[in-house]
Every structure is written in structure tokens, then in C-alpha cells.
Structure 1
Amino acid sequence: MTLEQHPAHGDYPDPGENTAIPNICEALSILGAKWSFMVIAQLSGGPQRFKQLLRNVKVVKTQSLTDTLRHLEATGVVRREVFPTIPVTVEYSLTRKGHDFRRVIDEMEQWVEKWKPKNQDNL
């Protein structure tokens, strides 16, 4: 008996026919950058400069933050805005897509809280 036929699991479509899988894979590729969750969480509070992000996401190194921001910008989650000041000011903020993605992260957090083992507070 396959998972799709198992009565406890209901009637699931054949995974080969499930159009949600490529979409979910795309969403997970956005989170493929190691620090994406933390950067999105920080930027959900409003725009920040690079040094602010570096201070607020304490565990990330400079190059890793640079790579993560580039990845999130390339996927349309983060907007990089350059202001013509001396010295030049650069701010990062979430796009509309980024704000929507924050809701996905919130849902995932609720799922983890619901299902984590009782003795693991730091899962």
C-alpha cells in the first residue's frame, strides 16, 4: 500500500502530478541561503543598512551576509536602495514579495512550536 492509498493519510494526488511541488521547491531555494530566515526577520521590522544588519544578525560574517543579501535581492525578496549621499548610503528592505514570505516563516514557526518534542525548547 502506498502513502497515497493509506487510509490514515487520505487521498493524496500522485506526487508526480502535484504542481505544488515545483512551487515549494522554488520557495525553498529562496531559503537556500544559510541566513535568509534571519535577514528576512530583521528586515520585517523596517529598512536597515548593511552594518545594522551585521550587528543585529550577530552570528553571520560579513561575506555571508553579503551573499545572502545578493541572493535575496536576486530572488525579489529584498530591495537594495542606494542614496546619493557622501559617503553613499545603502539600505535594504523587504519587497512586497519579502513581506509575504515573512508570513510563510511565521507559519513555519507555529508548525515547529506545535510539533517539537516537549523537552526541546531550542529546536
Structure 2
Amino acid sequence: QLEHILLRPDTYIGSCERITQEMYVLDSETKKLVLRKVTFTPGLYKIFDEIVVNAADNKQRDDRMNSLEVMIDQEGNKVSVKNNGKGIPVVIHKEHQCYVPTMIFGHLLTGSNFDDDEKKTTGGRNGYGAKLAN
């Protein structure tokens, strides 16, 4: 399955071609949302969105979480996303027999949002999410 993702990433994340379209963006001077033409790659946008949504979803599990920070290092080609909620436990997962961070960020079709009968307000439920960013 990993080979299919690498050969056909658009199936999972959207187009890998640059496009231009109107989007609401934050104006750095006025600090207001404005409608502007933006050139971007939908697939990269989706990967970024997956990580931010995961960080925001932590609020559902930790009421004390009240901060989400995104740092973009253009020179280092690095994006970091963090929140002040409960961290990811570094323990062996009972069912999958691997460390939880390895499962979350490396094993396809693993996650905690698969129960269709359970009402959820979190993102993602297909078991790909953050793995596609990794």
C-alpha cells in the first residue's frame, strides 16, 4: 500500500500540481482575513491540514489544552506544529505491538476514529492522516 501512495499520491492527498485560486488568507498588516489569489499545491496543503487538525483534535481529549502553535522555518524547510495538551504516550500499543508514536505516524489504517456509531467532532477517520505527512 505504501508503494501505491508513493506512485499515486493524488489519490490520498489531492493534486501535486500547483494551482491558483482565491482563498481567504490572513493579511499580516491588518490582521484580518482577506480574499486573495493564492498559488499552492493542494496535496501539500492537505498534508499540512492533517497535522494541524490532529493537533486541534487533542482538545477533545484534554480540556486543559488552550494553545496551538504553528512554526514555519522557510530556510530549514521545516514546519512544526505543537499544542500544550497531553502528549502522545510513548508506550507499546497492546493491539499493534509497537510504540504509539510509531503507530500514529507510521502504520497505515491505524487510528482511533473508526467507530461509525460513536458521535465525533474530530477530524480524520480513515487511518491515513498524519502518516501521509510522514
Q: TM-score range by the shorter chain?
A: under 0.3
Q: What's the TM-score, normalizing by structure 1?
A: 0.23
The structure that has the greater radius of gyration is 1
Greater percentage in helix: 1
